Amino acid sequence: MTEKISLLTIATFNNGKLAEYREMLGALPVQLISLAEHGSVSEVDETGTTFAENAELKASGYARMTGTHTLADDSGLEVAALNGRPGVLSARYGGDDLGFAGKMEMLLAEIADSGSGDRRARFVCEAAIADPDGGILLTVRGECTGTIAPGPSGSGGFGYDPIFVPDGFESTFGELSPVTKHQISHRARAFEQIIPFLRDKLNG
């Protein structure tokens, strides 16, 4: 018999991401806890070259550390004019000490310097669930395509949200309501595949 999932660790220290997780999974009858609630947890090195590899490394590593089923994702922004950069380095682009205001400024400058008029971009999310022994149970991918705005606009969301305009909209993720963003985002599209899996596991 498949082990029932009653508690799920969300592998993030990012409060904005944790809030999104809880909004998307809050309707499921499972206890969601963060890494911070486990006390002393050492950070898993993201040494993968793809979003999927990093998601699985984090899910497996934190599952073994906490002894719980663990859900991790790796996500980032891929910009056509920059040949897919910043990609898996999105969170560390320009260095760990550079805040996202600086990262966005640098990215916009690099697009301008590229000489390309191509503003296409996409947010990518790969998410993985591991069992308490670190075995990967599921890996899924979600994407949201759009364009890079001329400059930041809006204070909602986090990360690169203020410069990303999803296809079909004129507003950035930073301007859209959380409800709208959570219907169309890369993470939402990944979670559309995760929720049926979890619902089945929650039923034992």
Q: Are 127 and 197 in contact (CB under 8 A)?
A: no
Q: Where are the alpha helices (DSSP H) in 131-185?
A: 178-184
Give the pairing type, strands 31-34 and 7-10: parallel
Distance CA 98, CA 109 (A): 15
> Which is catalytic among the residues 74, 161, 167, 200?
74
Distance CA 112, CA 79 (A): 12
Element (H, E) at 58: helix 51-66
Q: Are 176 and 165 in contact (CB under 8 A)?
A: no
User: Is 74 annotated as catalytic?
Assistant: yes
Give the pairing type, strands 69-79 and 120-130: antiparallel
* Catalytic residue ranges: 74
